[in-house]
Structure 1
Amino acid sequence: MPHKFYMMFKTIILSLIGVCLSIPALGETFDRIAQAEILQGWRNIDGSHTAALRITLKPGWKTYWRAPGDSGIPPRIDWFGSRNFAEAKIEWPTPEVFQQNGMRSIGYTDELILPIQIQPITKNRSIRLKAVLDIGVCREICVPQQLTVKADLPKRGKRDARIAAALADRPLTMVEAGVTNVKCSVSATADGLLLTSIIKMPSMGPKEIAIVEIDNPQIWVGEGEIQRSSGILTAQTELQHVEGLPFLLDRSSLRFTVLGKKSAVDIRGCAN
């Protein structure tokens, strides 16, 4: 989608959302559509701490994965105010794919347990975890929600089956999925670049899709179109700078997630 048409489309969608939210006849309040809490989890042998954010949604509502698709709202998490906290790594469970009004989004329904691997500053001390979540939740319309949670994480804690299940529900690694080769090429378009990725891998099941992520937030990534030929998956994706500027592409920073009805795989980087 050319940049100017994408920005026009996005403006129209946001305007329609604003109109929908202002209509009293909807007969519904948007309080407590989503609620959040911290699952305290456990301390690991290496001194890191495994905890989780638990988001529960009203029936019929969904929230979004880290790459939500063109019709989704990307989540943001701010850890400001946490103590004995050096960094956190989020372990995203395998999401679902939604189709509505001809548009694709990617996320979760009902409940999301989002495991977090936390590195404390001092390993043998408790951790004060505070998170501010800015997320979108959607049904017929999308509503932004800001949720604030905080908890003291114990020095030891205990294993939580809910967190363990969410950790197990991750996409496969390249080795686990049998990905043996990933090659990428780029060609210029009128508005940016066309990325062609050729991935040698087994099928993830019917209705495969490929999501491409790039570490530059100024680059818009289109929905990939894929073709499957036996053990080869070919994906083509448009890349455009949000301000229409030229840009360089670091192929090693690319991340691909292939989702199918059977399984999913997380692929990092590609060769020329």
Structure 2
Amino acid sequence: MIKRTLLSLLASFAFAAPAAATNPYAEMVRLEVLPGWHQANGTHIAALRITLAPGWKTYWRAPGDAGIPPSIRWAGSRNLTNATPQWPTPVVFSQNGMRSVGYKHELILPLVLTPQNVGKPITLKGQLQIGICNDICVPADLSFDLSLPQGATRPDPAIASALASQPFSGDKAGLSAVHCAVSPTADGLLLSADITLPSAGAEEYAVVETADPQVWVAEAETSRTGNRLHVETQLMHVEGGAFALDRSGIRITVLGTRHAVDIQGCPAAP
């Protein structure tokens, strides 16, 4: 059943993806680069600002079964060694009876940029592929190209606000312990996580990710008893068959009505 659902979703995405040049929904979303500022350690903080037309939304890095995962290509950038997105806390919304995770109205996505040569300008050039949704969901392929200023050192308030809205780390949120049990299933693996953590709000929704992009993760079931949160999900390799699971690469994000918590790594119980 899980395999059929996954293959159906992949097939529908493949047939729904038009070329960027013929995308009739491009007017529903605008993209611009916020140039940001240079930091004393040599890195540069910039951001991609995605502005959505009224009623439209886009997706987080782990969008859920009903969403389209975003992708950034940096081809054409100059003097750039690494670019790390810093995702603000998303919201959970329902779509055709399924839950997905993302943003409405606007997304400012901060980027931590590492230059090849400190002191020389960085040029950001590439493509952002995102899903946008209203009554229907479609992919949009958006290009960006901007040379970043070298002398700017004053933080941009919009980018700083987006950085501040990221999920708390486990330590800051009061995480006491996290352990994962893994057992085989007919399609892959069943992962059960027990997390000792104060509540993030009346309604909590957990998203599980792995370090391997070829591993599909089902929507997690989340329940709480006192200070303990239980999260359970199923994992399957997109090509089927057995696969190795790196516990250090497991990432669990708890989204609550008060705040969100980013938990990285999930060792076995002692």
* Range of TM-score over shorter length: over 0.9
In the alignment, what sits opposite 2:67?
Answer: 72
The counterpart of 1:253, out of the listed 233, 249, 254, is 249
Q: What do the CA deviations read for 1:154-213 (whole angstroms, capped 9, x no partner)?
A: 112132110000000100011110011110011111111100000110000021011000
| 3-state SS, counterpart of residue 165 of structure 1 | helix
| 1:7 to 1:154, Cα distance in 2 relative to 1, 3 A | same
How many residues align? The count is 262
Q: What do the CA deviations read for 1:112-165 (whole angstroms, capped 9, x no partner)?
A: 100001011111111111131011100110111111111111112132110000
Q: How does 1:119-134 map to 2 (within 5 A)?
A: 119-134=114-129
In the alignment, what sits opposite 1:210?
Answer: 206
| 1:44 to 1:2, Cα distance in 2 relative to 1, 3 A | same
Q: TM-score, normalised by structure 2?
A: 0.93
| 1:84 to 1:9, Cα distance in 2 relative to 1, 3 A | closer
| 3-state SS, counterpart of residue 164 of structure 1 | helix
How far 1:86 moved relative to its partner?
Answer: 0.8
| 3-state SS, counterpart of residue 186 of structure 1 | strand
In the alignment, what sits opposite 2:52?
Answer: 57
In the alignment, what sits opposite 2:227?
Answer: 231
For 2:9 and 2:83, locate their aligned partners in 1 and report how far apart those are by CA, in whole Å: 35
What's the RMSD between the two structures over aligned residues? 1.6
Letter in 1 for 2:7: M
Structure 1 segments (4+ residues) deviating >2 Å: 8-15
Q: How does 1:9-20 map to 2 (within 5 A)?
A: 10-11=10-11
Q: How does 1:24-103 map to 2 (within 5 A)?
A: 30-103=25-98
For 1:125 and 1:6, locate their aligned partners in 2 and report how far apart those are by CA, in whole Å: 45
| 1:160 to 1:261, Cα distance in 2 relative to 1, 3 A | same
How far 1:217 moved relative to its partner?
Answer: 1.6
For 1:12 and 1:130, locate their aligned partners in 2 and report how far apart those are by CA, in whole Å: 29
**% identity of equivalent residues:** 49
> Unpaired runs of 5+ in structure 1?
22-28
In the alignment, what sits opposite 1:24?
Answer: none
> Unpaired runs of 5+ in structure 2?
19-23
Letter in 2 for 1:114: L
